[in-house]
Amino acid sequence: MASERQHSPGMSRRALLGRTAAAAAGATALTATTAGPAAAATTRDVDVAIVGGGLAGLTAARDLVAAGRTIAVLEARGRVGGRVVNLPLAGGGVTEGGGEFIGPTQDRIKALADSLGVATFATYNTGKNLLYKDGKKTPYATDGLLGSVPPVDVAGLANAAIVQASLDDMAKQVPVDAPWTAAKAAEWDKQTFESWLNANAVVPSAKFLLDVACTSIFSAEPRELSLLFVLFYIAAAGNESTPGTLERLTETAGGAQELRFVGGSQLVPQKLAATLGDRVVLNAPVRTITRSGGRYTVTADGVTVTARRVVVAVPPPLAARITYDPLLPAARDQLTQRLPMASVGKAIAIYDTPFWRADGLNGQVVSDTGVISSTFDNSPPDASYGALMGFIEADEARKLDAAGEAEVRAAVLRDYVTYFGEKAASPTSFVLQRWNNEAYTRGGPVSIAAPGVLTQYGPALREPVGGIHWAGTETSVHWMGFMDGAVRSGERVAKEVLAVL
């Protein structure tokens, strides 16, 4: 949702594993201010049809238009941004319901935002973090000799540090463009991350840190993930010149949660879509993609597009729901059957002021219990109001999928009171975004791979099928699951298409 995170427990001198909420970037939508719903029974003839108006699809559209090609972007929702969305607040302003953070080596999303005039500001990180474990609340500094290491026992810290170093070392052996070709790919892809942790994180408090990191980064439980997939994800948390590390995934300062966007992250896809004008068609979920001769017909609600090439820039599970004629190769279809979305929601409570700051807290929590086990201070840069944001992830998210908003709100506020005191019980407003229940996402922040998927089906992830090309953050070789990965995938697929047009 993918998305996808947060500063929390780390496992190195500066930070041992933390609670992160990966912010992925997307595969869907625009705003009504820059494009309207598709007119009934309209047709368009273009060079390239693009399915999905998230950051990936819009970036590809930008580059193709700049190269002189004609395009049409078909977006299922009534907005752009996909897994990146601004949620309006009752008192004015917005808060982010999906991907929101960026950090070092996320060069492409930063360059895109800069080009559109969308500024950044530092995620609030002044004061102490909170560790809530075994019923005890412990504030801890993030700028001492051990950085943001949480106050668990010494044996646990030592074990966690060894585990983190091992994961980073193994990740260095994984080619980001083809993780299934790693020398130990078969060995790593036949086991879950859970089984590997059970054998290596042998101190209970170390296992706690790694479990928290896993659910924070992936919004999935360790039992759901292939070890090879986890190692690839770590390797991908960098750029062409900087290897990825687990610490970069989990950190706030110096990590993937370092910066936010002034005005909310959805401003980036909104402004990008505005440059494309009526090339972006909203409320147009794609139903079929048909090849006839050397051309493709893309049929969506209310609009049909014929094109020489098609870019599908939506999450793999949603790409699988489109009907293709002729059928996609079995390997591609089998791949999409095996890449489910993880499970995530965000709950944001709004207060008159960020009252926790007066108590010397930065709003970031790591907890071993509750519906919300990871929080952030989501207040605006001028602190004109306070916003506490919490992630509902993995098993906890699934437990609440069928619950009403009032029930979720009550559970979330109980946790906020536990962490921040009685003032947290009475927000002025409350905003909830549950990605599992979103029709054109069905989870987040990212698709995940269980054992056996990458080694058996990985090559089909980006391999074009005739004139159909694949984009979206899941296809990126750097920062998969994040907004930066989505932008990178759009840039890559545009080059790929231009090379054959």
| CA 10 – CA 27 distance, rounded (Å) | 31
DSSP string for 88-154:
E-TTS-EEESS---B-TT-HHHHHHHHHHT--EEEPP--SEEEEEETTEEEEE-SSBTTBT--S--H
Q: How confident is the model at residue 145 (pLDDT cuts 50, 70, 90)?
A: low
- Across the chain, mean pLDDT equals 92
227-235 helix and 204-218 helix, angle to the nearest 10 degrees: 70
| pLDDT at residue 151 tops 80 | yes
Q: How confident is the model at residue 146 (pLDDT cuts 50, 70, 90)?
A: low
Residues 356-365: tens digit of each pLDDT? 999 999 999 9
> What is the model's pLDDT at position 148?
73
Name the residue with higher pLDDT: 21 or 114. 114
Q: How confident is the model at residue 147 (pLDDT cuts 50, 70, 90)?
A: low
> What is the model's pLDDT at position 142?
83
How many other CB atoms are there within 10 angstroms of residue 126's CB atom?
Answer: 13
Residues 387-404: tens digit of each pLDDT? 999 999 999 999 999 999
CB 123 within 8 A of CB 6: no
| CA 177 – CA 463 distance, rounded (Å) | 12
The helix/strand/coil state of 345 is: strand
Residues sharing a CB contact under 8 Å with residue 136, sequence separation 6 or more, in sequence order: none
What are the CA-CA distances from residue 198 to residues 52, 203, 212, 437 (Å)?
40, 10, 14, 32
Average pLDDT in the 80-103 region?
96
Name the residue with higher pLDDT: 377 or 144. 377
Say how many residues make up the chain.
Answer: 501
CB 346 within 8 A of CB 6: no
Q: Tokens representing 51?
A: 């399915």
| Single-letter amino acid code for the residue at 352 | D
Q: How confident is the model at residue 16 (pLDDT cuts 50, 70, 90)?
A: very low
- Looking at residue 37, what DSSP letter applies? B
Q: Tokens representing 186?
A: 């078969």
Q: 100: closest CA among 2, 234, 242?
A: 2
- The secondary element (H helix, E strand) that includes residue 212 is helix 204-218
Residues 410-451: tens digit of each pLDDT? 999 999 999 999 999 999 999 999 999 999 999 999 999 999
| pLDDT at residue 15 tops 50 | no
Q: Tokens representing 433?
A: 């975004």
How many other CB atoms are there within 10 angstroms of residue 402's CB atom?
Answer: 9
| CA 203 – CA 159 distance, rounded (Å) | 7
| pLDDT at residue 332 tops 50 | yes
368 alpha carbon, distance to own chain's centre = 22
Q: How confident is the model at residue 28 (pLDDT cuts 50, 70, 90)?
A: very low
Q: What are phi and psi of 481, to 5 degrees?
A: 90, -5
Q: How confident is the model at residue 62 (pLDDT cuts 50, 70, 90)?
A: very high
Of 40-44, 65-69, 161-165, 382-386, least confident by mean pLDDT is: 40-44
| pLDDT at residue 349 tops 70 | yes
CB 444 within 8 A of CB 435: yes
Residues 191-224: tens digit of each pLDDT? 999 999 999 999 999 999 999 999 999 999 999 9
CB 96 within 8 A of CB 344: no
Average pLDDT in the 97-107 region?
98
What is the percent of the chain where pLDDT is above 90?
A: 89
| CA 51 – CA 305 distance, rounded (Å) | 11
| pLDDT at residue 9 tops 50 | no
**Exposure string for 18-29, b = 16+ CB within 10 A, e = fewer:** bbbbbbbbbbbb
What are the CA-CA distances from residue 364 to residues 18, 280, 347 (Å)?
10, 38, 14
> What is the model's pLDDT at position 35?
47
Q: Give, in degrees to the nearest 5, the angle at Cα 222 between 221 and 224.
A: 70
The helix/strand/coil state of 249 is: helix
Q: Tokens representing 172?
A: 């260095």
- What global pTM score does this model have? 0.92
Measure CA of the first residue to CA of the last residue in the chain; give whole Å.
Answer: 32
| pLDDT at residue 238 tops 60 | yes
Q: Is the peptide bond before 354 cis (omega within 30 degrees of 0)?
A: no
